């Protein structure tokens, strides 16, 4: 299975400013989920990927990518064996996504997502 980048997140210390900026500059549709402050980004393009703009969980501005895999625990184990650190173990959001986060040996945080949507509870 190929492992494409399927989602991005812009994590900002000022997410409202970032959301407004990307709307204005690129014409992206950003729909904010008020209780989370998470802006779902639809770039409006036929190619490429959509993503999100959210408050930074670390207090630092950063951009993250999410890579689709068919065996999430297996890929997380492979990353750890190659020198990665687990930032978030495999986590299931019912009806939405199963994902995990790791940091590569240089400290860059990357997400992996399961290719299948978990059933809603």
Q: How do the pLDDT tens digits run along the chain, 121 residues long?
A: 689 999 999 999 999 999 999 999 999 999 999 988 899 999 999 899 999 999 999 999 999 999 999 999 999 999 999 999 999 999 999 988 999 999 999 999 999 999 888 888 7
Alpha-carbon span 84 to 109, nearest angstrom:
9
Q: Are 54 and 40 in contact (CB under 8 A)?
A: no
Strand partners, 74: none
pTM to 2 decimal places: 0.87
The length of the chain in residues reads 121
Q: What structural domains and CATH numbers belong to the chain?
A: 8-57 (3.10.180.10), 70-121 (3.10.180.10)
- How far from chain centre, in Å, is Cα 60? 15
How open is the CA angle 73-79-83, to the nearest 5 degrees?
Answer: 140
């Amino acid at each position: 299975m190929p492992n494409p980048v399927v989602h991005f997140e812009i994590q900002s210390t000022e997410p409202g400013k970032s959301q407004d900026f990307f709307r204005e500059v690129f014409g992206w549709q950003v729909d904010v989920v008020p209780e989370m402050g998470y802006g779902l980004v639809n770039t409006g393009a036929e190619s490429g990927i959509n993503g999100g703009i959210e408050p930074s969980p670390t207090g630092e501005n950063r951009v993250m990518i999410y890579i689709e895999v068919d065996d999430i625990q297996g890929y997380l184990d492979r990353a750890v064996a190659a020198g990665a650190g687990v930032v978030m173990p495999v986590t299931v959001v019912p009806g939405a996504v199963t994902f995990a986060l790791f940091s590569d040996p240089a400290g860059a945080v990357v997400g992996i997502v399961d290719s299948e949507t978990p059933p809603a509870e």
